[in-house]
Copies of this chain bind each other. A is one copy, B any other.
Amino acid sequence: MLVDVLGYLGIAVFAASGALIGVRKRLDLFGVCVVGITTGIGGGIIRDILLGIHPPTSLDQWPNLAVAFASSLLVFIAHPVMNRVWRGVLLFDAFGMGLFASTGASIALDHGGSSLSACLIGATTAVAGGVIRDILVNEVPLLLRRDLYAVPALLGSASVAVVDGLGWSANFGLVIGTVAATGLRILALWRRWNLPIASRLPAED
């Protein structure tokens, strides 16, 4: 139950981040909703395609879609307020990312995936929505820019796989994974951590 509620919260926050970028790109109501909904449910759809869940849950049942749509609509109407609370949204986003990474890993294990596929599919669930969002609005995905985002996602899904490998409770894995991913992401935002960039190419000068 709690996991479901947290899952909807994650979808809502991701959808809001997509819708806000749509507003900034001057898209119309429909475009804003498409970017918002895609960002909110895109990761889960790609997870289901990789695992062979047909049709993907978010397309087959209404709650995920309804949450993403409501969140996008809210942003379209109330975006000036959203702009002001963007730092707060980043915290929600970190929480949603952690939850998607751990639930994605857990679902992959449930469908017979290996530990490796739990790590990779969990992290993919967490980051894919944002990548789709950035490709749709024609920007180099934020994921590839200087911003520690996917490493926390991998940490979260790997935690779930480790807990599963040790034979401990799946719910414990979900909690550990979500806390680890969200915590590292917030630390990275707070400390402005980034991964290194390769030394300058002589050819570019």
Contact = CB atoms under 8 A, between A and B. Distances in A.
Interface string A140-168: 11011110101100000000000000000
Stoichiometry (number of copies): 3
B34 A144 contact: yes
A121 B59 contact: yes
Contacts of A27: 144-145, 197
Chain A, interface residues (CB within 8 Å), range: 35 or more
A189 to B, nearest CB: 15
Interface stretch (A5-13, A44-52, A90-98, A170-178): A44-52
A140 B140 contact: no
A130 interface: no
A137 B121 CA distance: 22
